[in-house]
Structure 1
Amino acid sequence: MSTIQDQHTAGPIAIGFDYQFYYFMYLAIDLKQGQKIGFEVKDDVHIDKQDGTTILYQTKHSIVKNANGDIQNLTTLDIDLWKTLNNWTDFINADKKNSSFLNENEFILVTNKSENNNDFITTLTLFKFDNDIDKVVLKINELEKKTQDETLRKYIKNFGKISKNKLKLFLKKLVIETDNDGIIKKIKNRILEKYYQADLVDPIFESLSSNLNMAKYLDIKDRKKFEISSEDFAKKFGKCFKVATEIKPLPRREFPVLLPDDLENQIFIKQLLDIGEIQTGSNDIRDYTTQMLKFLNHFTYWSEEENFILLTDIKEFKNNSIQIWTNEFKSKYRQIERKVSAGAFLNDLEDDVKNLALDLVDYIRKQDLSIPGFSALGVEFSNGHYYSLSDNLEIGWHFDWENKYKNK
C-alpha cells in the first residue's frame, strides 16, 4: 500500500511549484525601477523590462538523485529541457510574420539539475562563439534520430522546424542555468546583501514569503494576473522590509556576574554612601553592583562581540543619557548654586544638598533609556548604565561631586 501511495504522491510536483515561487521571489527582491514581474502569466515567471522587452523564465526542479547522492544531471535528452524548448518553439511559430516575439523576448531555463556533458548545451555554447547555425541543425537532427521516446522525438522535431534565421535569433537569446539549487539560501543572501545584518534576514524572508504567497493565492483565486511592478512591490510589500528599521529589542543572555571583593570601595557606591542613599553593609550595595555588571556585560556583547550597535549609536546613547542627568542636575541644584554664588558656605548647605541628591537619584532611576534603533532597555539596565557612568566619574549626585571624587 505504501508503495502505491509513494507512486501517486504529489510531493515532487508540489516542490516544483515551490521552487518556481521562490525563484519568483528571488527575482522580485531585485526588481529594477520600471520593471514588472509576473507569475504564471506569460510563462512560469516573466519580467517586463522598461525598454518594452520581456525575459521569460521556465523553472524545472528535480528531487531525483544519482548514485552519488547528487541531484540528477540535465542530460542531452532530458524531457524537461526539450519540453521547455518545445513550449517556446510554439510561441515562435505562432508569430508567423515579423519575428516580433523573438525580438521582444529573452529565454531563460532555470533548473537545479547539474550540467554534465550535455551535447545540446555544448552545441549552444559553441554557437554563441562561432555563430554557425548549421552545426546546431545537424545536432538537432542527430538527437531526433537518437531517441526512441515518441514524446521527446516530437519535441525535438518541432524545435528543428524553426527556420534558420529565427533559430539563430532564438539561440542568441537562450540561456540555460543549471545547478540552481539552494534557492531559499540564495534569497536570504540577496536580503543580506541589501541590509548587511544577518539577524534581520530570517524575519524579512518570512514576512516577504508569506505575504507574497498570500497575494499570489488571492489574485489567482480571483482570476487576476499575478503581476507586480517595482512601484507595487514597494507599496504592497515594503512593510516586509521594515523589520530592518523597526524598533526592536536587543537580545538578552545569561552572563555570569562576578562581584568585586570590596563592594564598598567602588566609586559609584561611595557616592551613594556619602549622600545617605545606602548604608554600609546594606544588601542594596550588592543589588546595585549586580545591575551595573549585568548592563556592562550586555553592552559589551551588543557593541563589541556581535556589533549590533554602531559606534555612532553608542556615542548618541551615552550623550543622551548624560544630558538627561545634566538637565536634572541643574534643575535640582539651581537654588544651591545661587546661594553659593551669593557667598553661602557649601558645608552649611550639606543637609539640603543631600536631600536634593537623593531626589536626583530617584529621578534618574525612573529613566527607561533606549539605544538608537532599539526598544527601551528597561529600568534595571538603565539604572545599571547610570551606576556605570557614576563609577567612571562621568556623572555624580552631590552638588560638589567633581571636587569630592575627581581630585582624589
Structure 2
Amino acid sequence: MAEEKSFTEKTSAGDTSIGFDYQYYYFLHRILNLGTGQSVGLEIKDDVHTELDADFNILYQVKHTVQTNAAGAPIALSELDADLWKTLYNWSQVISDKVDGREEITEQLKFVDKTEFHLVSNKSHSKSNTFLQLVVDYQAGDGDFEPLRAHIDYLTSKTQDAGIKKYIEAVAQLDLTVRKKFFEQLRFELECQDIIGRVKLSIREKIIDLEKIDGVFERLDSRIRSDNFLAVKSGQSIRISFEEFASRYSKIFDDARSKKLVYHRFEPDLPEDIFAQRFIKRLIEIDAVTPSDDELAVKYTEHKLRATRNLDRWVQDGDIISDEVEEFHDDVFAQWENEFEGSFEEDDNLKEVAAAARELLKILRRERFKLNQTDLDIRFSNGELYYLSDIGRIGWHRDWKNNV
C-alpha cells in the first residue's frame, strides 16, 4: 500500500524541478545530434523542437514521471494516460490553429506532412496498451485506419475522466484525412530514463576520450544553462543552430581532444581563519599583505586552492600522473631557488630585506609555469607559489626559515 504524502510533500517543487531538468537535458541531447543547417528550440514550438532540412519539423513533448511500480521502475504508459492524451490534444490544437493559418484542411495536411510528433518519456512500455499497439500496426500495415479509429471511439466511452474525454474527443474531431496522416507521423520514445547518459553518449560520439567525457559535459552544461538564462532574461527565444553551436562551443571539444590541460571550475571551501595559513604569514612578514586585508588574503587563497584542486582532478582523470606533479613542483622550486639566491645583501637592514623580498615575489608572480604542454595562466602559477610556500618549501624573506 502506497504511503500517504503530507501536504508539504504534495506541494514540493521537486517533481516539477526534475521535469524541467529532464526536458532541458533532452534539449541538450538534441543539440548534440544536430546536422548542418538544422536547429533546436526549447519551449518555442513545443517542449523541444528540431527544424530539419527542407522545412521539416520534429515536435517533442517531453514527459517525466517520478511515480514507480512495485519493482521500483517508472510506471508504464497506459492507454488512458493523461500525459498521452493531453499531448495528442495539444498537437491536435497546433495542427488546426487558425492563428497560424491552418483553419482549412489543406493547410493542416501540409503542416502534418512536414512534421513528426514525438512523445518522449521515462515511462515504460505496457503490453496492455492496445492503443499504442494499434498505432504501430497502422504504421506498419496496409493503411487500414478503421481498427485504430474504432478503438479511439471506445476509449472515449470507456474513460470516466472528463479531462481525458475532452482530449480524446478533440483528437477524434480532426478531419479523417488529417487524422490518418497525423497518426502516421506519431513516434513514441519510451523508457528514456538515463537522459544524462544519452547526453554523455552523444559527447562520446564526437570523438571524445572516455576519461574526458565528464569534463566536457560539465563545461557544456554550465555554458548552455548560462546562455539560456541570459537569452530568457533579455526576452529572446532559446533556439540554437548547428552553426551557432559549432561557433560557440567547439572550443570545449577542441580542448578535450588536445593534450592541453583544461581548468575545472569549483567553489573553493575557504579555511575558517584565512590569516592562520602559513603562506599568508609569509606574505605579511614582507608587507605584501596586511593583517587586515581580508579581500586580498581571500583572493590569494582562492588562487592556491584552484591550483591544488585542479592538480588533484587532473591526476584523478588521468590527464597527468603523480610523478609529473612532483616534477612540476620541483621545477617551480628550482625557479624560486634561482631567483632567491642573490636577492639579498649581507648588510641589508630589515626594511631593505622586506623590499627585496617583495621584488622577488613580484618577479616570480610574472612567471607562467608549464605543465604537460600547457602554459598555465597567471592565477594558477601564482597559486602554485602560494602552495609551495604553504607547505614550507619556499619563502620570501631572507630569514623565512627562521620565522614562525
Q: Same fold (TM over 0.5)?
A: yes
Q: Output aligned runs, 1:152-231, within 5 Å.
A: 152-231=164-243
1:240 alignment counterpart: 252
The residue identity in structure 2 corresponding to 1:7 is K
Q: CA deviation at 1:307?
A: 9.5
SS at match of 2:6: helix
SS at match of 1:195: coil
1:71 alignment counterpart: 74
The residue identity in structure 1 corresponding to 2:20 is F
Cα 1:196/1:135, change in 2 over 3 Å:
same
1:30 aligns with 2:33: yes
Distance 1:242 1:196 in 2: 9
What does the per-residue CA deviation read over 1:185-235, in whole Å, with 9 as the maximum and x for residues that have no partner? 111111112224111101110111111111111112222111111111111
Distance 1:184 1:217 in 2: 20
Distance 1:6 1:145 in 2: 35
Q: Output aligned runs, 1:3-402, within 5 Å.
A: 3-94=6-97, 95-97=102-104, 98=106, 99-117=109-127, 118-130=129-141, 131-249=143-261, 374-375=373-374
Cα 1:220/1:196, change in 2 over 3 Å:
closer
TM-score normalised per structure 1:
0.61
SS at match of 1:107: strand
**Structure holding more helix per residue:** 1
Cα 1:224/1:370, change in 2 over 3 Å:
closer
SS at match of 1:155: helix
Q: CA deviation at 1:22?
A: 0.1
Distance 2:38 2:204 in 1: 22
Q: CA deviation at 1:376?
A: 7.8
Distance 2:52 2:73 in 1: 36
Identify the range of structure 1 (111-120 vs 81-90) with the bigger mean alpha-carbon deviation. Answer: 111-120
SS at match of 2:66: coil
Counterpart contact for 1:32–1:230, Cα < 8 Å: yes
Cα 1:308/1:211, change in 2 over 3 Å:
closer
Counterpart contact for 2:208–2:253, Cα < 8 Å: no
Unaligned runs of 5+ in 1: 251-301, 310-367, 378-408
Aligned sequence identity (%): 34
The residue identity in structure 2 corresponding to 1:116 is S
Counterpart contact for 2:112–2:181, Cα < 8 Å: yes
Identify the range of structure 1 (191-200 vs 109-118) with the bigger mean alpha-carbon deviation. Answer: 191-200
Q: CA deviation at 1:65?
A: 0.5
Cα 1:152/1:245, change in 2 over 3 Å:
same
Distance 1:187 1:247 in 2: 23
Counterpart contact for 2:64–2:123, Cα < 8 Å: yes
Distance 1:144 1:181 in 2: 30
Counterpart contact for 1:133–1:164, Cα < 8 Å: no
What does the per-residue CA deviation read over 1:291-335, in whole Å, with 9 as the maximum and x for residues that have no partner? xxxxxxxxxxx9xxx9979xxxxxxxxxxxxxxxxxxxxxxxxxx
Distance 1:189 1:8 in 2: 35
Distance 1:155 1:249 in 2: 54
Q: How many residues are aligned here?
A: 263
Cα 1:208/1:140, change in 2 over 3 Å:
same
Cα 1:249/1:105, change in 2 over 3 Å:
closer
Q: CA deviation at 1:369?
A: 9.2
Distance 1:20 1:96 in 2: 30
Counterpart contact for 1:74–1:81, Cα < 8 Å: yes
Counterpart contact for 2:208–2:257, Cα < 8 Å: no
The residue identity in structure 1 corresponding to 2:138 is F
Distance 1:100 1:214 in 2: 37
Q: CA deviation at 1:238?
A: 1.8
Q: CA deviation at 1:3?
A: 1.5
Distance 1:101 1:73 in 2: 31
Identify the range of structure 1 (175-184 vs 220-229) with the bigger mean alpha-carbon deviation. Answer: 220-229
Unaligned runs of 5+ in 2: 263-314, 321-368, 377-404
Distance 2:260 2:48 in 1: 35
Cα 1:369/1:45, change in 2 over 3 Å:
closer
